[in-house]
Structure 1
Amino acid sequence: MNILILGSGGREHALAWKIKESKHCDKVFIAPGNAGTAAVGQNVPIDVNDFDAIKQFVIDNKVTMLVVGPEDPLVNGVYDYFQGQQDWKGMVIAPSRAGAQLEGSKAFSKKFMERHRIPTASYAEFNADNYQEGKTYIASHSLPVVLKADGLAAGKGVVIAQTHEEALKTFEEMILNKQFGEASSKVVIEQFLDGIEVSVFILTDGKDYKIIGHAKDYKRIGEGDTGLNTGGMGCVTPVPFMDTSFMEKVENQIIRPTVEGIAKEEIDYKGFIFFGLINVKGEPMVIEYNCRMGDPETEVIMPSLNADIVDLFLAVYYGGLNEVNIQPAVQSCVTVVAVSGGYPGSYEKGKKITLPELKQNNESLIFHAGTQLQGTDILTNGGRVLAITSFGENIEAAAEKSRQLLKDIHFDGIQYRKDIGYEFK
C-alpha cells in the first residue's frame, strides 16, 4: 500500500524509516518532510493543515493510509475532515478532534483525569473573567507552582515559577497580555510534582490498546540538566526504573483507565497516546497527555520496536490489536540531538552539514529533524537538526556510540549534550 506521513521533523523521519520496513508498504510519502525523509520516501510540498490539498494528493496517488505526526492537524480535526469525505475512505492514524483535546486543552485533560480517577497533580483553571480569583489563588499556593497555557503553545506554554512574584507575572503575561494568543486565554495552575519524568506510548483503537515502548528524554540545553528548556536534547530506552512492578502500576492506574474513559465517553480514537508521567516515590502520576508520538522519543521507540508498525496500524482499524505480538527490546537505545548554535534562543539556518558514511551494522542511525536539501547539499533548517540513535548492551554503551558518531558530523555552530543517560551509568 501507499502511505502518507504528515510532518517534517525527526519523529516523521523515524516513522518513515519504520514504515518503509513494513511488508505492507509499497511507497511512503512525507508532507512536507526534510532532507532525511527524502532518502526514505518521496517528499511532498504540502502544509500539514491544508486538508483539501492532502485529500487531493491521497486520491491522485492511491494512498491507502494517512499517518499524522504533529499535533496541530490533530487538534484542527484532520481525522474528522476525512471521516466526512465520500471520495476517499482510507485509514487515518489519528484521534478525532474530540480525542485530540486530551492534548489540545490542559483543562479538558485534567477534567478527564478527574472523571476517571487517574492520578495527576491537583489544579485549578482561570481566565480573564476570574482573573482576580486566580491572583489570590496563586498568592496562597505552595511553591514552586506550575502554570500551563490551556491550548497548544509550541511546547513553550509551561512555566514552573519559583516565587509568587514570578507566578503572578507569568499569569498576567499569559492572560492579560495574551503571551500565547488564544492558547493562554485560559490558564491551568497546578501542584508541582517532584520526581523523575518518563514517557509511555501506546497505540489504541479507542477500546483496546498495545504498549509500544517507554522512554526518558532530556529537555534542558545544558549538561547535568541545566539551562533553558528545549524540545528535547536526547532520549533513552528502556528506562531502568521502569520495572515490572512500576509498569503494572502505570497500566492499571493510568493506561487502562484512560482507554476505558475514551470508550465510555464514546470518543473516536485511532492512534497514539503519549503518557507524560512522573515517578513520585515509586508512584506514577500523569503530567500530560499527547495525542501523537513524541520527539525525540520516536527516534528511540521506533528503532527498538520489534514489530511491523503497519501491522499495528491495520489492527487499529480492523481489530486484533491485542493479538499483535511485540517482542521485548534486547538492547538499550539512545539518541543524542545535535542543535544549531544559539538554540533554544535565536539561531541561524542554512549551515551546510557534513555527514559520515554509516557502517552497515545497524548499530547507529541518523534521523533528520531541522534539515533541508539544496541541490545535493544538506543544510540546517531548524533548532534541532539531527538525532543520532545508537544501540548498545546498556545505556552507557549506546550513548557512547552516538557521541563517537557525532565527532564525524559537522556544521557551523553544532551543539549537543555529551551526558545523555548520565544518571544510568
Structure 2
Amino acid sequence: MNILLIGSGGREHTFAWKIAQSPLCEKLYIAPGNAGTKAFGENVAIHVTDFVKMQDFCVANHVEMVVVGPEEPLVKGLRDHFQADDRTKHIGIVGPGKAGAELEGSKDFSKKFMKKYGIPTAAYETFTKETVEEGISYIRKQQLPVVLKADGLAAGKGVLICPSHKEAESEFKSMLLEAKFGAASQKVVVEEFLSGIELSVFVALDGSDYVILPEAKDYKRIGDGDTGPNTGGMGAVSPVPFADADFMQKVSERIVSPTFKGLKEENIDYKGFIFIGLMNQGGDPFVIEYNVRMGDPETQAVLPRIKSDFVSLLEGIAKGNLRTYQLELEDFVSATVVMVAGGYPGDYEKGKPITGLTNTGNDRALVFHAGTALNQSGQVISNGGRVLGITGQGNDLSAALNSAYRRVNQIHWEGVNFRKDIGQDILQWEKTNVND
C-alpha cells in the first residue's frame, strides 16, 4: 500500500525506517520529512497542518493509510477533516480525532477524565486569569515542590516544577496574566508533586482492542544529573528494568484498561497510539500525563525492539483489527542519546554542517535525524534544537550505552551538546536491586 507519514522529527525518521522494512509498504511519502527520512521514502513539502493540501496529495497519489507522528495535527483535527471529505474518508488514519486528542491537547480535560474513571494521578485544581487569587491561595497550601502545567500544547516545555511557593506564585502569574506559553497557558493546572521514578508506557488502540508496546524511560532536562530546564527529551532507554511483570500488571489493570473503557464510555472512537507518562511511586503507577502519539525520543529506543511487522500493527490500528496482531520483541536493550544544538532549549543557531554521519564501523548503532536539512551542496546541516538521536543496541544496558556513545563521539557540528549520563540512574538501580 501507499503510505503518507506526517512529521519531520526523530520519531518520524524512526517510523520511516521501520515502515520501509515491511513488504506491505509499496510507496512511502513523508510530509515534510527531514534529511534522514528521504533514505526511506519521498519527502513532500506539505506542512503538518495543511490538511487540504494533504488530502489533495493523498487522492492524487492513491494513499491508503496516513500515519500521524506529532500531536499538533491531531489536536487540530486531521482525522476529522479526512473523514468529513468523501474523497478521503476511506483512507485509514493512525491517530485519534479531535475529541480523543484532547487527552493531550488539554491538561484540564485529561485530569478530569482520569478523575472520572478512577485512574490514579496527582491531586490538582485548574485556574484561569479570572481565578488567579484562588490559585495563589491553593499554591500556598501545597507541599513543595509545586507543579504548574499549561493546559494546552507548549512543545513539551509547558510544565514547571517550582521549589518554592514564591517561585510558584510568580510563574503562575506569568503563565496566566502574561501568557508565558501563549494560548497554551490560558488555563493552568496546579498539581501535587509525585516523587519516584518516571517511565513511559505505549499503547496501540483500534477502537475495539489494544496492544501494550514496550515501555521506555526518557530524560527531559538539558543537563547531566537532571539539571537545567526541561526539553523535548535528551535520551531514552528500553526496556526499563523496574517495570517488571508485577508492575506492568498494575499498569494494565489500573491505568490502561480504565483508560480504554473511559474512551468507549465517552464515545471516542480512538484509533492511534497513547503514550502514558507514569511515575513509579513505591511500586505503584500514577499517571503524570497522556500524549496521543508515540514519544520522541522514546520511539527511537522502542521501535528497534519490535520484531513483528510494523505496518501490520499500523494497519491493525487503522482498520480496527488489532485482535489478530501478534507482537514479537527482540531480546536486546536500546539506548538513545539525543544530540542538540548549542543553546537549546533556549536560543540556538541552525545551518551548521554535520560531519561523521557515514563510515562508522559500529553497525549496532542507528542514527535517526530530527532537526536536519540539506544545504544547496547536499550536505546535511542542523535545522532544529534536537538534531540527531543515536540509538545503541546491546545485550544489556551498559553495552547499548557504549554502542550509542561510541557513535555520538564520531559525529560533530559547531556547538553540539548532549547529555553524558543517559541510563546511569538505571545502571545504579540495577546495582542496588540485583538479586545476589
TM band (smaller chain):
over 0.9
2:273 is matched with which residue?
A: 272
**Structure 2 length-normalised TM:** 0.95
- Contact 2:365–2:393 (CA under 8 A) maintained in structure 1: yes
Question: How many equivalent residue pairs?
Answer: 425
Equivalent residue runs for 1:115-134 within 5 Å? 115-134=116-135
Cα distance in structure 2, aligned partners of 1:186 and 1:222: 29
2:11 is matched with which residue?
A: 11
- Contact 2:362–2:407 (CA under 8 A) maintained in structure 1: no
Aligned to 1:143, what secondary structure does the other structure show? coil
- Contact 1:194–1:280 (CA under 8 A) maintained in structure 2: yes
2:418 is matched with which residue?
A: 416
2:330 is matched with which residue?
A: 329
Cα distance in structure 1, aligned partners of 2:110 and 2:337: 31
Cα distance in structure 2, aligned partners of 1:348 and 1:356: 20
1:44 is matched with which residue?
A: 44
- Contact 1:358–1:365 (CA under 8 A) maintained in structure 2: no
* C-alpha distance after superposition, 1:130-152 (max 9, x if no partner): 22111111122221111111111
* C-alpha distance after superposition, 1:67-111 (max 9, x if no partner): 111111110000111110101221111101000000000010001
The residue type equivalent to 1:6 in the other structure is: I
The residue type equivalent to 2:60 in the other structure is: D
* C-alpha distance after superposition, 1:171-206 (max 9, x if no partner): 111111111222111111110000110000011012
The residue type equivalent to 1:124 in the other structure is: E
The residue type equivalent to 1:97 in the other structure is: K
Cα distance in structure 1, aligned partners of 2:357 and 2:200: 31
- 1:10 positional shift: 0.2
2:80 is matched with which residue?
A: 80
The residue type equivalent to 1:176 in the other structure is: L
Cα distance in structure 1, aligned partners of 2:182 and 2:410: 42
The residue type equivalent to 1:401 in the other structure is: S
Equivalent residue runs for 1:38-117 within 5 Å? 38-88=38-88, 89-117=90-118
- 1:316 positional shift: 2.0
1:150 is matched with which residue?
A: 151
The residue type equivalent to 1:125 in the other structure is: T
- 1:360 positional shift: 8.0
1:366 is matched with which residue?
A: 367
Percent same amino acid among aligned pairs? 53
Cα distance in structure 2, aligned partners of 1:235 and 1:390: 11
2:238 is matched with which residue?
A: 237
1:381 is matched with which residue?
A: 383
Alignment partner of 1:216 is 2:213:
no
* C-alpha distance after superposition, 1:14-35 (max 9, x if no partner): 0111111112101111111100
The residue type equivalent to 2:231 in the other structure is: T
Cα distance in structure 2, aligned partners of 1:341 and 1:137: 38
The residue type equivalent to 2:194 in the other structure is: L
Alignment partner of 1:31 is 2:31:
yes
* C-alpha distance after superposition, 1:198-252 (max 9, x if no partner): 0000110123100121100111222222222211111100001010000000000
Alignment partner of 1:287 is 2:293:
no
- 1:260 positional shift: 0.9
Distance 1:6 1:117, change over 3 A: same
* C-alpha distance after superposition, 1:385-410 (max 9, x if no partner): 11111110111110101111112111
The residue type equivalent to 1:93 in the other structure is: V
- 1:359 positional shift: 5.9
Distance 1:66 1:358, change over 3 A: farther
The residue type equivalent to 1:166 in the other structure is: E
* C-alpha distance after superposition, 1:29-71 (max 9, x if no partner): 1111100001111111111000000001111111111011111
Cα distance in structure 2, aligned partners of 1:164 and 1:238: 37
The residue type equivalent to 2:188 in the other structure is: V
Match of 2:395 among 393, 396, 416: 393
- 1:416 positional shift: 1.4
* C-alpha distance after superposition, 1:318-342 (max 9, x if no partner): 3431331112330100111111111
Aligned to 1:214, what secondary structure does the other structure show? coil
- 1:310 positional shift: 1.3
